[in-house]
Structure 1
Amino acid sequence: MPDVALTPQELTARRTVATECAFNAATDLGLKVEETRVLHDVFSLVVHLHPSPVVARIPLVLVPGLTPEALRLKQQRELDVADWLARESVPVTRPSGLVPLEPVREDDFSMTFWELVDVADEHSPYAGGDYELCAALHAALAAYPGLLPFLSPFNEGLPPMMEALEGSHLLSDEDLDRAHAEWQALRPVLASATAFRERFPEADVQPIQGDAPSHNVIRSRTGWVFGDFEDICLGPVEWDLAGHGPEAVAAYDAAAGPLGMRTIDPELQRVMDAARNLQMVGCLSLVPQLPMLEQGLAPMVQAWRESPSLVL
């Protein structure tokens, strides 16, 4: 993994070029754009194409080796599921109806277009909502008819990140040995829905949001709105609660029963927590693309170091 992180000047240049690409793509699609307003810039750049009620979402931080076609397929899955949820009256960020329901590539950037959400004054990115929201989302997603990969954040995103960790100054040799040992233990169990069911025959698999849905929400002026379905996949609902602790599980369980959803399996939650922890370690490979991530991940990585080693 190259340890040379992007400089502040390079990060600014990346945002500027991506914003210009969003402007060009939007105007080519016939949208009226007089001004671009950056709303968010972390893993993805979110740009309001003022005065059109449309925002462009442009992934900037990508797993190593992700091809343009793989990214396009991932973005198309996100558009399709968000569009379906919106038509099912689930509160989600809606794909813009002013452009075709498909990703658009402009130079080196692939982007999707969404309706502008009327964000409440008290909204705070990543602040999170009630965990009961996860149960309601899972209840809605259970009926989604589209084809989805199994645990794609683990099976598609993590392998290249694990490989890219070699030589990182952010992990010791002991850290790397443990990470690879846990990877070798988890991968046979989580590699496919078939392998997963052999290990957990009582657990069901369904469409899940794939990336902490309780924290990928927007507080709008009319209530909570779900966003960020880029990791939509099949899996156990425990994956969406991984790493959030017993209080989150208790809140989820309290809401699941009345919705006809099953409650959380403690042993399966333990395995999903371990898989999510390993994913967080793997995300250290993204630090060169997003230097602020090193500080953000530090508490999670340290908690992983201090936790018992995984035993399956």
Structure 2
Amino acid sequence: MPIVHLTPSDLEARTARAVAAATSAGRALGFDVADPRVLHDQFSVVVHLAPSPVVVRIPVALPPGLDGAPQTARQVRELAVVAWLADRGLPVVRPSPLVPREPVRRDGFSMTFWEYVDVDASRQPDYIADAALAADLHAALRDYPGELPFLSPLSETVPTCLALLEENPGLLAPADLERLRAEWTVLAPVLSSREGFARVFPQASLQPIHGDAPSYNVIRTAAGVRYADFEDVNLGPVEWDLAFLGAEGAAVYDARAAKVGVRPLDPAVLRVMDAAGSLRMVASYALVPQLPRLAEWLAQPLALWRTKPFAGGVG
């Protein structure tokens, strides 16, 4: 499938269309949107419908195959999980209580509506210390009753990104693409199904997890930390949420996990999740045409991946 490389003017136009769609949808829902403000513009455009206390998240750079019905299903899962956590008192950025709890499609975009929270810019992140937050979140998520896909950030996106990279030479160096393909061949049987994972790691339990580094995806407010961005919520090993935090982060997590009744991290699983995380980052070069600045962000992870053992030692 040939891809289109977006120019700076294309990106500006896409952001403008997303803001216009969010504004139109907000006004249709009865909100005063006198001063819409872009809070974030990367994989999603995040718009505060000021002065209303509502934020709209509009995904604009999606992995291949995750638009249309799959995107809607992903958003429905996120809204359901976050609402469930909020009902149990976990500090999360909640779906907006002012609108129906469902995605809204407008002008070609599928968007979700969230409560507005004031970010405290003076509170600096500490990703290692915040590994303890992941343990608290896992303790809360463990009893979530809804159905979730298995390791969807890997099983649903790496194969489609790999296929796009193969169909469009030049996005990734040939040697890197060859290694990416070979590593996925080794890791796919482990990461694509619960049964495959259990054959290799029968001792490692699975549960609902955040799916996208909860130590990083928190919002700091004057009242404390709130968990956010559950777009990749899935069923998997807790180690996936701890990828790249290293031994120090793992120690912080395990200390907190022991207090809240969550199993400790399995070092062998964590090594594979680190490898899988690197693999996913390299596969994300498929999104560079949609988000050109991604090439700069991924340059360091790509260089580091080249120095790591093949497929985390699996196979």
> Shorter-chain TM-score: which interval?
over 0.9
8 A Cα contact 1:95 1:114, kept in partner: yes
Size of the alignment, in residue pairs?
311
Alpha-carbon shift at residue 65 of structure 1 (Å)? 2.9
Alpha-carbon shift at residue 223 of structure 1 (Å)? 0.6
1:99 aligned partner, one-letter code = V
Alpha-carbon shift at residue 50 of structure 1 (Å)? 1.1
Structural mapping, 1:1-312, within 5 Å:
5-122=5-122, 128=127, 130-166=130-166, 167-310=168-311, 311-312=313-314
Distance in 2, matches of 1:175 and 1:216, equals 29
Structure 1 residues 246-276: Cα deviation after superposition (integer angstroms, max 9, x where no partner): 1111111111101111111111111111111
Alpha-carbon shift at residue 127 of structure 1 (Å)? 6.9
Alpha-carbon shift at residue 122 of structure 1 (Å)? 2.0
The 3 A distance-change label for structure 1 pair 4 and 70 is: closer
Alpha-carbon shift at residue 123 of structure 1 (Å)? 5.1
| RMSD (CA atoms) | 1.5
Distance in 1, matches of 2:2 and 2:250, equals 38
1:243 aligned partner, one-letter code = F
2:310 aligned partner, one-letter code = S
1:79 aligned partner, one-letter code = L
State which drifts further: 170-179 or 240-249.
170-179
The 3 A distance-change label for structure 1 pair 40 and 123 is: farther
Distance in 2, matches of 1:174 and 1:18, equals 37
Matched residue SS, 1:165: helix
Matched residue SS, 1:149: coil
2:80 aligned partner, one-letter code = D
Alpha-carbon shift at residue 195 of structure 1 (Å)? 1.6
Identity of aligned residues (%): 53
8 A Cα contact 1:37 1:50, kept in partner: yes
8 A Cα contact 2:58 2:110, kept in partner: yes
Matched residue SS, 2:208: strand
The 3 A distance-change label for structure 1 pair 3 and 101 is: closer
1:281 aligned partner, one-letter code = V
The 3 A distance-change label for structure 1 pair 303 and 3 is: farther
8 A Cα contact 1:45 1:60, kept in partner: yes
Structure 2 unaligned spans of 5+: none
Alpha-carbon shift at residue 228 of structure 1 (Å)? 0.3
The 3 A distance-change label for structure 1 pair 278 and 127 is: same
Structure 1 unaligned spans of 5+: none
8 A Cα contact 2:93 2:226, kept in partner: yes
8 A Cα contact 2:171 2:286, kept in partner: no
Alpha-carbon shift at residue 5 of structure 1 (Å)? 3.0
